[in-house]
Amino acid sequence: MWGASEFERGVDPAYLYQVQEGIRDAVNEAFEKLRPAFFRFSEETEKLKPFVGDTRDPQVFDAGLKLMQVLDAETFETMGTIMNWGNHPETLWSENIQVSSDFAHHWREMVENGIVEKDTVLIEGVGGIAIWLNGAIGGLMTTHPSMEVIDPYSKEKFKKQNPDKIVAQGRALAKVTLETLRDSSYVEVYKANLSIRAETIELKMDNKLFHLAAYLGIFDRGFTKWKHIRSEVSAWKLGPATFVHVPGELYPEILHGGIESPNGGDFGIEPLEVPTIQSQIPGQFKFFAGMSNDMVGYIIPKSQWDEVAPYTYENQDRPYGEVNSLGPETAPKIHSSVIKILKEFK
C-alpha cells in the first residue's frame, strides 16, 4: 500500500495485472484439467487454540480448524486441501523486514509433502495443493511474542520471534491437520448440489485518514457517492459444508458470539450484530473466510467501538482497530447482509 513515503501510493500496477492474469490462467487451466472427484470434510475444534492470542477484549477466537479435502475419484490421490483457521501470519513480528508468508509456508508445505526430520518421515503428507483460508482475525488474532510455541516432535520451546519459531508452528499446525484428515470421523461426499449467493453492498467511510489517503491517491478504488464505497459479501454451499466470505477482518465475536457493551464504548448501545453469523450458517461444516471479495479493514461491533476517552476495559489508550476501520457502521451493515444471503439457502 505505502510507497516511498506515507503520502505516496506504493502499489505496482504491473504486479496487479500479473496477479489478475494469473488468476484467469489458473481458472482456465483448472477447467481444462477437470477430473471426477469426491470430497472429505472434517474439523478439529480444540488443538489449535494455544497458537492464537487475542490482543483486544473480549477474548473470543476463531481457532477451530475446518478442512475440505478433494480427492481424485479414480486414483484416490489428493488433488487439494482447504484449511480454514483464524490467525494473522505474523509470528515473525515487527522486526521482520523480509517478504514472508510466515508460518503459512511451512504449514502448507508440510501438509503437502509431510513432516521430515533429517532422513526420517515423521508423518506422511497428503499431496496435492494445500490452501489456507484465513478466518475471523479482527481484534488482531495472532501468535504474539509473549506466546510460546512448542515443536510437537522435538518438544523444543520457542518464545522469541525467529525463523525457528515459525517452522515449529508450521510443524504443529501440519501435524494436527494431517491427523485430522486421516481421522475416521471425516464425512465423505460423492455427489452434492452447489449453491452460490453474493450481494453487492455499500459501506460508509467515516475514517478521516482513509479520506486523506483516497484524496492523495494511496487508495485508488473509487466511491459510489460521497464517502461511500462498494464492496461485497458472498456464500456458497456444497453438500454438508457452507463457506461464508466477508471483505475484511471480522471480529470473532460477530461470528461466534460474545459481543459486549463495555463501559466507555462510544455509543452506549446493546450489541447490534446478533444473531451470530455462525448460528445462521447452514450445514454440518461451517467455513468462514475473512478478507475475501475485497478488503475494508477491521469490522468492529458497534457497541465496542472506542475512539473517545474514557476507554473500554480500563485501557489507558484507545484500542487498536478503529484506526484501520471504515467506521462504526461497517459491522452492522456487513452482518445484516451476510444474514440476508444465508437465509436464501433455507
**207-255 per-position pLDDT tens digit:** 999 999 998 888 888 789 999 999 999 999 999 999 999 999 999 999 9
Which pLDDT tens digit goes with each residue over 276-333? 999 999 999 999 999 998 999 999 999 999 999 999 999 999 999 999 999 999 999 9
pLDDT of residue 66: 98
Answer with the residue of higher pLDDT: 3 or 36. Answer: 36
| pLDDT over 90 (residue 97) | no
- CA-to-CA separations, 165 to 84, 85, 144, in angstroms, rounded: 21, 19, 11
Q: Which three cell numbers stand for residue 23?
A: 488468476
pLDDT of residue 293: 87
pLDDT of residue 267: 97
Listed range (25-29, 79-83, 177-181, 291-295) with the worst mean pLDDT: 291-295
Rounded to whole angstroms, how far apart are CA atoms 113 and 116? 9
pLDDT of residue 64: 96
pLDDT of residue 222: 78
Going by pLDDT thresholds of 50, 70 and 90, the confidence category of residue 56 is: very high
Nearest to 250 by CA among 337, 330, 139, 138: 138
| pLDDT over 80 (residue 2) | no
SS (H, E, C) the chain: CECCCCCCECCCHHHHHHHHHHHHHHHHHHHHCCCCEEEEEEEECCCCHHHCEECCCCCCCCCCEEEEEEEECCCCCEEEEEEEECCECCCCCCCCCCCCCCHHHHHHHHHHHCEEECCEEEECCCCCEEEEEECCCCCCEECCCCCCEECCCCCCEECCCCHHHHHHHHHHHHHHHHHHHCCCCCEEECCCCEEEEEEEEEEECCCHHHHHHHHHCCCCCCCCECCEEEEEEEEEEECCEEEEECCCEECHHHHHCCCCCCCCCCCCCCCCCCCCHHHHCCCCEEEEECCCCCCCEEECCHHHCCCCCCCHHHCCCCCCCHHHECCCCHHHHHHHHHHHHHHCCC
pLDDT of residue 13: 92
In this prediction the pTM is: 0.95
| pLDDT over 90 (residue 174) | yes
Answer with the residue of higher pLDDT: 220 or 127. Answer: 127
pLDDT of residue 46: 95
Going by pLDDT thresholds of 50, 70 and 90, the confidence category of residue 204 is: very high
Amino acid, res. 118: K
| pLDDT over 90 (residue 77) | yes
| Distance between start and end Cα atoms, the chain | 40
Read off the pLDDT of each residue in 176-195 and give the average, rounded to a whole number: 96
Read off the pLDDT of each residue in 80-87 and give the average, rounded to a whole number: 98
pLDDT of residue 195: 96
pLDDT of residue 324: 94
pLDDT of residue 3: 86
Read off the pLDDT of each residue in 248-270 and give the average, rounded to a whole number: 97
Going by pLDDT thresholds of 50, 70 and 90, the confidence category of residue 98 is: confident
- Spell out the residues 6+ positions from residue 174 whose beta carbon is closer than 8 angstroms to its own: 106, 107, 110, 111, 115, 123
